[in-house]
Amino acid sequence: MRSFLLLLSFITGCEASYVWGCRGGWVNLTLKYPETNETYTSIEVLLDQDKIIQITHNDTWANQGVFSMYHDKQNKSLRVGIKPISKDDYGKYKFKFKSDGKSISNGDQRVKLKSDNPCQKPFHLTVSRTAEARISCGNKEYEDNYRVKFFCKENGPICEDVLSTKSALRSNGSFTLTEKERGFTVSISNVSAQDAGVYWCGVESTEIRYRAALRKIQLKVEDGPLIFIPVIIRVAVWLLLLSVLILILICTRYSKNKRNAAAEQHVPEILYTRRYRSAPRSLTQGMQ
């Protein structure tokens, strides 16, 4: 089965754009006004004929469960997000553009969200500060090479691009994106505490403004040198105690040896004195 295959057909009448997503990921879709000369006051979104969300204000986000919608009046477009995608979110979506509460002729747009596979498993990565991190996106079923690849970092409700193949620039500071035959990799050199956070890698359609997430990456950065300070302190304390103990043993042994040597030096003198003093007595007794 193909993962994240995007099958697109331009919206004509009741036909819909078929979009492949992945369970556990997210999709962002931008729809242009059906009629650019119209002024729309509200937009409804229905899933399989059931209304799920409606927005009546411009330039603000409307949220309902996993759905979010932004009516960009200046650019005459509607931005829609679904995060995270579950099995209940797949189906036929109808976007009804209305003016003064009334539906506009030819004002409906349709998108069908489908999926074959779940997303790649989330990737939890812990690295030490100043080290290098490497992240892999895509798998053996990753095929649609014409699609744009991107790597973004979560910032509140949005995911801000760090790198994208839409640009010729494949490096951004410490981040480097490398395309492969299947998918792509992102390396982060000289990791800092500011690099910690949640990232997503995914693909973007070049036909319509559509983005789908492939994989969630949770990056945790540990301050490497500080981690070993408590260990170093403990080792230093033990070495100090061991040195003191050895010094005490050496001093005790040296003091004991010194006393023994002093005692041995006095023994001959004592014996000699005793013999010298007892000799006259013996001689005197013999003479008598």
Q: pLDDT tens digits for 145-203? A: 457 889 999 998 789 999 998 888 899 989 999 988 778 899 999 999 999 999 999 88
Last residue of one domain, picked from the residues 63, 91, 114: 114
Q: 20 or 271: whose pLDDT is higher?
A: 20
Biggest CA–CA distance in the chain, Å, is: 160
State which residues form the domain around 189.
Answer: 123-225
* Long-range interactions of 278-281: CB distance < 8 A, separation 24+: none
Q: How far is Cα 209 from Cα 204, in angstroms, rounded to an integer?
A: 7
Q: Which one of 207, 225, 243 terminates a domain?
A: 225
The reported pLDDT for the residue numbered 274 is: 52
Q: What is the CATH number of the domain that holds 182?
A: 2.60.40.10
Whether residue 7 is contained in a domain is answered as no
169 and 95 in a common domain: no
* pLDDT value of residue 12: 36
DSSP the chain: --TT--------TT--EEEE--BTS-EEEEEE-SSTT---SEEEEEETTEEEEEE-SSSSEEEETTEEEEEETTTTEEEEEE-S--GGG-EEEEEEEEETTEEEEEEEEEEEEE-SSBPPPPEEEEEETT--EEEEE--TT---TTSEEEEEEEETTEEEEEEETTSS--EETTEEEEE-SSSEEEEE-S--GGG-EEEEEEEE-SSSSEEEEEEEEEEEEE-HHHHTHHHHHHHHHHHHHHHHHHHHHHHHHHHHHHHHHHHHHHHHHHHHHHHHHHHHHHHHHHH-
Q: Is residue 221 domain-shared with residue 163, that is, in the same domain?
A: yes
Asked if pLDDT for residue 267 goes beyond 90, the answer is no
Q: How many domains does the chain have?
A: 3
Residue 9, in any domain of the structure: no
- The predicted pLDDT at position 69 comes to 93
Please check whether residues 29 and 44 belong to one and the same domain: yes
Q: What letters, b where the CB count within 10 A reaches 16 and e where it falls short, cover 118-151? A: ebbeeeeeebebeeebebbbbeeebeeeebebbb
Question: Average of pLDDT values for 5-28?
Answer: 64
pLDDT digits over 207-257, tens only?
A: 667 899 989 999 999 986 544 456 678 788 888 888 888 888 888 877 777
The reply to whether 5 falls in a domain is: no
Are the CB atoms for 57 and 73 separated by under 8 Å?
Answer: no
Tens digits of residue pLDDT in 18-59: 787 888 899 999 999 988 888 899 999 999 989 999 999 888
Instruction: Confirm whether 8 is domain-assigned.
Output: no
Tell whether 212 is covered by a domain: yes
Work out the average pLDDT over 246-270.
70
Query: Would you call 176 exposed, middle or buried from its count of C-beta atoms within 10 A (0-12, 13-18, 19+)?
Result: middle
Q: The tokens 């100090």 sit on which residue?
A: 240
Whether 281 is covered by a domain: the verdict is no
In whole angstroms, give the CA distance from residue 118 to residue 24: 7
Whether 284 has a pLDDT exceeding 50, the answer reads no
Is 261's pLDDT higher than 50? yes
Q: Which of 114, 144, 173 is the last residue of a domain?
A: 114
What is the per-residue pLDDT for 283? Answer: 45
Bridge partner residues of 20 (DSSP): 114
In a domain, 242, yes or no: yes
* pTM confidence score: 0.68
Q: Which of 94-108, 124-138, 185-199, 206-220 has the lowest average pLDDT? A: 94-108
Specify whether 135 is located in the same domain as 207: yes
Per the document, the length of the chain is: 288
